[in-house]
Structure 1
Amino acid sequence: MQIIYWLLLAVMVVGIIGAVVPAIPGSSLILIAIIVWGIVSSSFAAIKIPLIVTVIVLLLSVGVDFLASYVGAKQAGASKWGQIGAIVGLVVGFLGLLPTLPFGGPLLGILLGPLLGAIIGEYLYRREFGLAIKAGIGIVVGSLIGNLIQGLLAIAAVVVFVATTWPQVFGS
């Protein structure tokens, strides 16, 4: 039983990383691990609180993701073109369709893609390079802050799970 517990905690750590890094499942992976623990331990009563907390974290994470990008874009004066460009840049960067980079690969593409996409989208809309760069940076900074908040929420969900299930597994 302890081996399964540690494996599920490892899955939750990947979920925490996924809450911060785009394209890796985040809070949903933590939720799945908690449900698996409920099935394995045959005690859904023991995971009631972590389950509720994790569902709330999952919903908050979705909201934070959209809200942080939106606030970052608005603070920088970005238009919808910049926001669409950032999304396209994220997809293109993740799929590795940016010119081959000597290091970093898709992870670097995930970071550079939204910035370049937002700048290109804003430039196509406004034809002012300075405003395009400002908007691109605003969108990326908002997204990064949102990802950090999602990471903190994911850590909180895992801490609640460990705090409520540790005595059940290790008996103290």
Structure 2
Amino acid sequence: MVILYWLLVVLMVVGVIGAIVPGIPGSSLILIAVVIWGAIDGFTTVYWALGIAILVFLLSIGIDYLAAYWGAKRSGASNWSQIGAIVGLVVATLGLLPALPFGGPLLGILLGPLLGAAIGEFLYRRELEIGLRLKQAFQAGVGIIVGSIVGRLIQGVLAIAAVGVFLWQTLPHVVGGY
């Protein structure tokens, strides 16, 4: 049972990494690990950890959308750039971007939304001259990426807190054997 506990802790660490790195499940892995341990332990030692894991999971979903939206609005981006960022993310996730010489898919997941947002904003701002269109398109792309990075960092902190609560609640029972 102790081995399973530590395997679930490793799964939670992968969840913390996934909360920060796009493309890897994050808070959902933490929640799954807490539920598995709770099912094994009879939910006697995970009541706080389960509540925190559910809260972190729900907040993470909202943070993903709100952080990108906040970054877009702070940079003056239009809805076109937000749609472009989503399309760019999907294209990068599916691997349709050309293979990059370094960074691989993780760099593609950052470049996809940046390029998608910039292209979307460039197409939307037809009334501006080329120089201003390019500047606005670049600002929109950077704003969305900065918002997404800030959101990922917040999710990472929340994921660490959820794992910390789990360890605080369960580790004395596993190590102490009571």
State the Cα distance separating 1:23 from its structure 2 match: 1.8
Amino acid in the other structure paired with 1:146? G
Q: Tell me the secondary structure at the aligned position of residue 168 of structure 1.
A: helix
Q: Once the two structures are superposed, what CA deviation does each residue of 1:106-144 show, in whole Å capped at 9, x if it has no partner?
A: 111101111001000100111311101001100000000
Please list every run of at least 4 consecutive aligned residues from structure 1 whose deviation after the TM superposition is greater than 6 angstroms: none
Kept in 2: contact 1:95–1:106 (CA 8 A)? no
Identity of aligned residues (%): 64
Equivalent residue number for residue 55 of structure 1: 54
Equivalent residue number for residue 26 of structure 1: 26
Equivalent residue number for residue 14 of structure 2: 14
Kept in 2: contact 1:20–1:147 (CA 8 A)? yes
Equivalent residue number for residue 160 of structure 2: 155
Q: Tell me the secondary structure at the aligned position of residue 29 of structure 1.
A: helix
Amino acid in the other structure paired with 1:12? M
Match of 1:146 among 151, 159, 177: 151
Give the whole-Å Cα distance in 2 for the aligned partners of 1:129 and 1:103: 26
Give the whole-Å Cα distance in 1 for the aligned partners of 2:139 and 2:107: 20
Structure 1 unaligned segments of length 5 or more: list them.
none
Q: Once the two structures are superposed, what CA deviation does each residue of 1:59-108 show, in whole Å capped at 9, x if it has no partner?
A: 11111111111110000000111001111111111222112211222111
Give the whole-Å Cα distance in 1 for the aligned partners of 2:6 and 2:24: 20
Give the whole-Å Cα distance in 1 for the aligned partners of 2:99 and 2:56: 36
Kept in 2: contact 1:96–1:105 (CA 8 A)? no
Give the whole-Å Cα distance in 1 for the aligned partners of 2:16 and 2:59: 14
State the Cα distance separating 1:45 from its structure 2 match: 2.1
Equivalent residue number for residue 71 of structure 2: 72
Number of aligned positions between the proteins: 171
Q: Once the two structures are superposed, what CA deviation does each residue of 1:1-56 show, in whole Å capped at 9, x if it has no partner?
A: 11111100000011111111122111111000001111222x20211110001111
Give the whole-Å Cα distance in 2 for the aligned partners of 1:64 and 1:93: 21
1:127-142 pair list within 5 angstroms: 127=126, 128-142=133-147
- Provide the alpha-carbon RMSD of the alignment: 1.1
Q: Once the two structures are superposed, what CA deviation does each residue of 1:144-166 show, in whole Å capped at 9, x if it has no partner?
A: 00010001000000000000001
Q: Tell me the secondary structure at the aligned position of residue 99 of structure 1.
A: coil
Answering whether residue 98 of structure 2 is matched by residue 106 of structure 1, we say no
